Structure 1
Amino acid sequence: MSIRHSAAHLTRSIAQRPVARSPVGLLDRYGSQKAGMASVVPPVTQNSVGKQGPTAMVFMNMGGPSTTDEVGDFLSRLFADADLIPLGPLQSYIGPLISRRRTPKIQKQYAAIGGGSPIRKWSEYQCEEMCKILDQISPETAPHRPYVAFRYANPLTEHMYEQLIKDGFGRGNGGRAVAFTQYPQYSCSTTGSSLNELWKWRNRLEGKRATGEVNPDGAIMWSVIDRWPTHPGLVEAFARNIEDKLAEYPEEARKDVVLLFSAHSLPMSVVNRGDPYPAEVAATVNAVMQRLKHSNPYRLCWQSQVGPSAWLGAQTSDTVKHYFERGHTDMILVPIAFTSDHIETLYEIDQEVLHEDAKGHPGVKRAESLNGSPVFIQALADIAHAHLQSGDSCSRQMGLRCQGCKSERCLEQKRFFVGEQAKILPTVR
């Protein structure tokens, strides 16, 4: 889910692809044949300092419990994160109380979607398949080693970092790692929180707390892909899934189907602080509609509001109910900020919105999530390849704090990743 994604639903109860080196058109570059499941990628040992490869590719996401037994620990970590759910000075006390109280109900919700979240399966598959493409199109940085780092579920960020070290990255061996956010649109509560956590464990395992030095020799050289809301491959993947779903309607009715793009909402306090997420989500929607030649009426709405405070709206559930009451019985919901299925698509949209708010009407449908889409996986490889060739440690946007940001942790994290630029440039030809 994308992973602010599974969290918000939980908290709501509280209050492959032809490879080409030269530019080609999207319809040629991104294949439509379904990709098979990935084989296990053998371990890569980082044993050479100064070479461009191997390269660790780290997918960052919120994660989700793979089984119902993992729900309690997942919720405990989630409610302890003030970047995602700010509970004030009593967070260490209130968080555990809320997580214990919510666990039984949330376990039932995960049981209803098959006994756990599929996000780990999809994240590992997407990363492994992306790395196979990168090995072909970017041999100078190969081999590419896939890793997944979840914020609140296994594999946790610290476990990923420990595995990097075991595999020969860092701790005097050097090596490069790319933190690749799986939230296409940046928010301080999602990508920002994951980067804060990565920075924390870098300091504990390789930084001053571990070695006595801020930047010890032979530490992992990090760079970040921190946002990609309008990448052509991402846009193409969304557009094709929408076109596939539109094809299920009678031809004479297709142009009148309402497209409802749904993204996770944010508290207005976060929006007013200057968080770039709403603008970046809107940019994705606009790019997709341009690709579709504005074939249908559409709206952007927001799901998973938590508690009584003001949140970014209109809410997805309210939007479906209101349009349904006005006679718009043909609608397609498009999870525009999520890169795979998770509880907020499989439960919140599929079971609550479609079956309850839309009363199970056959005209109200959901576009497929990106999951194993070959178009999407090729896009991931293209994004990563461009980043590896760029010499950038992060985007220009990432170095700019939100207007109202007062977090010293955020400041120091940004300083670290921006500061990695000086280490990356000498390795780029």
Structure 2
Amino acid sequence: MTTPTKEPANAAMDRPGEGRLAHAPADHPPVRRARVGVVLANLGTPDATDYWSMRRYLSEFLSDKRVVDYPSWKWQPLLQLIILSRRPFKSGEAYRSIWNTEKDESPLLTITREQTRKVAEGLEGLFGDGVMVDFCMRYGNPSTDSVLKRMQAAGCEKILFFPLYPQYASPTTATANDHAFRTLMQLKWQPALRTVPAYFEHPRYIEALANTVREGYAAAETPPEVLVASYHGVPKRFLMEGDPYHCQCQKTTRLLREALGWEADAVQTAFQSQFGPEEWVGPQTVEHVAELARQGKKHIAVISPAFASDCVETLEEIEEEIREAFIEAGGETFTYIPCLNDRDDHIAALLAVIENELAGWVSRQA
């Protein structure tokens, strides 16, 4: 596992074993021992919070056709000349408010690295050292391209690619998979690649969410009256065009409520991070929590089931902007329930998904 600009490869996760083929000529290049790779793929992070680092990151992100699918001739001039002349300042400020100053990196990077370390330990316990584990980012570093090529060079002839998005969406899961396949297009010897499907209804994932809610409510000074499950939004047009994200989010909320044994109105679904002029799926979280306050709900909690790791959308948008909207509308206590991050029950859920998807490629140790 690596962060290319900051630290070397983790030897515990990369024991390639190199040798020569029997009867091969003396000048034959070394051949790596065949291995299986597992890649955890997260959204991405800027390398720093300054203007140019933020601009590079935002340009890559907002130029992705899966994220903004307007025609390039219309979108790129607006993006490069207007949006990216101002937005890096605002986004940089948001990232600075949550930045891991000790490691000089975003919390998303810190958390994803720790998730990967724990998953690697779990898989080593199940399958020995034949499985190499690493992580990549769709935008920023470590890049999907660099990680997949490093795995292929280390002898991984089979790779399980795991986008860390419980609910499938075109701007998240699909673009992560797209980028992985684009990397394979560059390779002379392509590894076999499997992609992990959405796990929005996996029992262990739901139970991990329920555990965090129980813990959050137990720790709250005043018991919340409503739990808002806030998911990242998508344009409503995506739903109409067949993207299953909205439906999967609704099902996750229902399964979470059932796992908790609560009444229907005790857990509500909302969507955050809307931008642009077109209609998005709703209700919008920032407006919904304010409306709850106006209706007399003075104590609420918010959870983010669509995020496997806390990031700027949770630590800054929810903890600051959405909290402020609730308080300004008359709310009194706002409890944010952190993402699953590197909790043991979350790692157990990820391991269960991975083991199922590795079927036929590896076998448990005796």
TM class by shorter chain equals 0.7 to 0.9
Distance, in Å, in 1 between the alignment partners of 2:60 and 2:12 is 29
Unaligned runs of 5+ in 1: 1-38, 170-174, 212-217, 392-423
1:72 aligned residue: 55
Shift of 1:177: 0.7
For the pair 1:62 / 2:43, whether they are aligned, the reply is yes
For the pair 1:364 / 2:334, whether they are aligned, the reply is yes
The residue type equivalent to 2:181 in the other structure is W
Shift of 1:181: 1.1
Distance, in Å, in 2 between the alignment partners of 1:249 and 1:339 is 22
Distance, in Å, in 2 between the alignment partners of 1:377 and 1:95 is 38
The residue type equivalent to 1:164 in the other structure is M
For the pair 1:317 / 2:298, whether they are aligned, the reply is no
For the pair 1:138 / 2:127, whether they are aligned, the reply is yes
Contact in 2 for aligned 1:355/1:361 (Cα 8 Å)? no
1:388 aligned residue: 358
Alignment match of 1:241 (pick from 173, 197, 212): 212
RMSD between aligned residues: 2.6
Distance, in Å, in 2 between the alignment partners of 1:225 and 1:78 is 22
- Kindly report structure 1 stretches of 4+ aligned residues shifted beyond 3 Å: 46-49, 91-95, 359-362
Contact in 2 for aligned 1:54/1:144 (Cα 8 Å)? yes
Shift of 1:219: 2.6
For the pair 1:104 / 2:89, whether they are aligned, the reply is yes
Identity score, percent:
24
Shift of 1:94: 3.4
For the pair 1:220 / 2:191, whether they are aligned, the reply is yes
1:33 aligned residue: none
Match runs of 1:16-35 below 5 Å: none
Relative to total residues, which structure has the larger strand share, 1 or 2?
2
The residue type equivalent to 1:181 in the other structure is P
1:272 aligned residue: 240
1:157 aligned residue: 144
Shift of 1:262: 0.3
1:282 aligned residue: 250
Number of residue pairs the alignment of both structures matches: 335
For the pair 1:291 / 2:274, whether they are aligned, the reply is no
The residue type equivalent to 1:87 in the other structure is Y
1:95 aligned residue: 79
The residue type equivalent to 1:289 in the other structure is R
Contact in 2 for aligned 1:354/1:364 (Cα 8 Å)? yes
SS of equivalent to 1:68:
coil
TM-score of the aligned structures, taking structure 2 as reference length? 0.84
SS of equivalent to 1:229:
coil
Deviations 1:73-129 (A, max 9, x none): 111101210111123132444333323331111111111112652111111211221
TM-score of the aligned structures, taking structure 1 as reference length? 0.72
CA gap of 1:53–1:126, structure 2 versus 1, over 3 A, is farther
Shift of 1:66: 4.2
Shift of 1:64: 1.4
Shift of 1:249: 4.2
Q: Which gives a bigger RCO, structure 1 or 2 (Cα 8 Å, sep 6+)?
A: 1
Distance, in Å, in 2 between the alignment partners of 1:289 and 1:77 is 37
